[in-house]
Structure 1
């Protein structure tokens, strides 16, 4: 009994009951124990998985997390998806990796309002090619170790518009592949490091708006020969302008608002003629050299330098300061040549000495003439030549035949192989032509895009950027790889032109397989659409009244007159004025578009149907006409272009051809500004009559200018000429209609000499409503 009692007690202590109930309870207890141990095992496995996942983030991801920890404020939560649990950072906001790899090639976080420091851990990104942190609030110095193992591959460094400070690190010389450096508008101090000369592939070097001091390092001009844009403005730089800057090929050089002293080196005249230079607000002195690029600058480029004198400033130079007229007179009239001095010591007569001096001068003059001739031959040889098919006027680039060989023409051998130039060109970079442009390539590529239209010069898109800004983007050809320098020259020339009645070219993008032009977006379409293609959904859905038409005509005239005036001696010509190239902004002001587009399209490897242009045609010269298949901001492009003249029996007059003056049919006839005047006259007739420039009458086809002229000569009522939508206003405004019609007829005179200048035509339109005698230019 005792044993039995003790056994039962033992079972109770162990949780085991006698009988079937006790067995079931024991089974349930064991099952709970197994489930509990399974849950603990599962939690342990999950914990191990998380730890392993965290440790799986590669070293580049860890470097980026160190950058994130240095960001003190991220109001837009831009970095919220930068998580340690990810295996790779390639899907993080602002991060791009190489194709088929997990190696970071690009960090792009512009305008994110990030506040913090830039850490040297970014130097561990071994394949980083682009670092874009501009327009944030980063502060502190630029770490020297930032240019670590990634330095040999880094091509673009955009840190402008931050609060960075301290000196520029000398380790910048590691950036041997760097092509674009913009650290403007920060607080950097100290000297410009001379080591920057090691970055020989630089295309843009923008250091303006800092607190840099000391002299400009010697040797930059000789080392950085690929530079296209150099900006050292708004610093405290002292010393003189290095003469070797004349070796640069920059199209923009800004040294304004510093403390530079001394004379402007005459060697800067060797810069490209189209270069934009700014030396204002310094302490420069002496006469302004009047050679090459220096002779093409406005007075504002030299303003606020009390010591400077000579044209284009109003301050005249003293006789002793007058610039030397050239190398041929470098010895001066009172300084005999060394040979003359020697002969005088030998006792020669005065007549012999005079003969020797004259002979020396003639010899030097001949040498100068031969040298200038050779330079011009070399320049002509370097221009790519175009071939045009006979018969239909189509043009095709001759690059495939010419760009793979080397010639020796004139006095200098000229290489036509563009491989070296292409190596120096960053493919896929957005170049801004205006300081107001805030977007970058990444934002442009992310933008919502809508096709506005297609034409012979590519597709035009409307792109909506992040901040609601709309731009028009025109895609050009996919060739022209060896024409970059000429393309850049032309696009910079167009980009300089700013006027309220001209559509501004804001930026461009160049790559081997893609070329883009970025313009202001003009919301109300084109004049052609407003006159001939209105629909209920059109931007302008109702007929234009007389006040609106007159306003548009006056604005277009002002814009075209400005184009003709701003070129100076170069005599700029638009060459494709038509109603589809006149856009209407939100205030119904006229904006002339597509300036220089045909030339840019040809250089970009596309094709434009046009009358045969002269070889080497450029926007800045009055060369043979080059038509543009204009899509007015992508709205309402016209049809094919042909030569103006009597139509064949089986061929209609092309609308675009109706804008061409009679001289367009003459072989090898160069386009002049009077060509544009004629085209504008046709547009003015469109505005008055509401008719297409190519009229299809019952008996024949006739261009608008001829039809209006014949109608007026036949003394028919004005109501037969004017747009039917204007008839209600004719009783009150007939005199104004007649004045505008007279201007249009003068502009479309068959003889170019009988047409007014565009400035005079614009002035006459501004005076509409008054009795005005329109004088035809000589």
Structure 2
């Protein structure tokens, strides 16, 4: 992306296409191939080829009724690029489009041109900018709209109030601002606008929804209160404008430093407090080629390339998304080096002096499995944190969203390596941040990045001292541990609980329902594992068939046992983080030194499980448990990454 920080904002001003092109008649096959051409990284659409003699209705992700294309289910396929609405407009019977869990970016696609659509699912992408106010005026058939987990900004379109058939509306995890519409569609039964920047008082028409649907909007009041501000103290700016203006301000400050000081060093401006700079001495070529040696030392290898504010100001920028703690932007320097700038909204518990001390403490951490911040900027309203950009992305994305080469590489040795690295990093944090009530606080697969060699890197740790209790309970995963839900008490054992879910997630390949803000979607891995074990079944039944090799099943079973021990409801009966790390180290060491025969995949059949000692009845029961827990509408699910 060759834009500067200002360019994404300018792009938002471009008008949307408002009229259909005069398209020549074409076949469904040609229209699907046309749509595919607008995608990047479309390896998972291998059936979409001119040489495929099958009818388009047999192609992956294409839904038909009586030979007519009525839906496209392309969620979680690692797609990037654009969504060509011209190609979609060929399908006159199209009623559902699902592009959730991909990496599409840019303004809202022009779906308003497809007036017959009933369901739109574009959750968990990187769409950004305002949605035109009249966007939904002609979409009279629309029933389900899921925009959550993007970076949409500006007011919620008032035209949604006139969508009389709308039943589901999910806007959570964006940057929508302003007030809620005064009226609600009469059929609306599922609604969520949490984790935005809305203000005002929730209108009475929206009071039929639980207060949790409006959580984490600092100036939005469910009920008007005398001592709580329900309006911003100043005119609200869209996040894109706000972010741009902040950096313009920093540029002015930097210029003042240049004028005032003869000793100003070129390319090194201290408006950003730089911390842990040794970890950023990386040549751009090393960063882009993935040649850094993450496994040998904390941080990155030697060389030149320290960044400064001037470099950051000239960087190309890309919105990566938003989550419970704020928004993230990727910035690419002219040298080719890349960083991630996180804009944190709710770190308001401490003043600047304490914030400086705590951030420098985090910046001094050195461990192969911990990614420290490089720099930060303090403002009362928000803070900017700078991290190194890790191209492969998060474990959550590679395990559940990407279906390309990275996902295929998640065999058993790689997953064991990831589990060991996560435990090592978490144990280190528990040692170095022992004075913090819960040293990580937000341990989940979305906060585990993967280096080029799949070595895990923990991020978003140690933030608890910066957050007020109400903010922490809403945004940090440790607050979902059983003891916290019972008594609002967190401890280092809360991190152990989170690690247990991570281990079960790695072993089963299932997305945990515990990551969601509601009970809709995902798999209850804790219930699944505990029920299978309690009913006498072999927990090996729960393993992801993609990693099962006969020679390693016993090791997988042992790691599953560690995970189950970590999610023990009573924190006193859970092992400590150091003990967990030691158990996984022993398991990994034994697996590495054991002389094994070339692995033979174990087929995912009843006979294979019988060979592993699983009775037919318990196997069928465990499968039934998992299927019931995981069953959900493919297009209705959503999850937030923070």
TM-score > 0.5, shorter chain as reference: no
TM-score (norm 2): 0.43
Whose Rg is larger?
A: 1
TM-score (norm 1): 0.36
Higher relative contact order (CA 8 A, sep 6+): 2
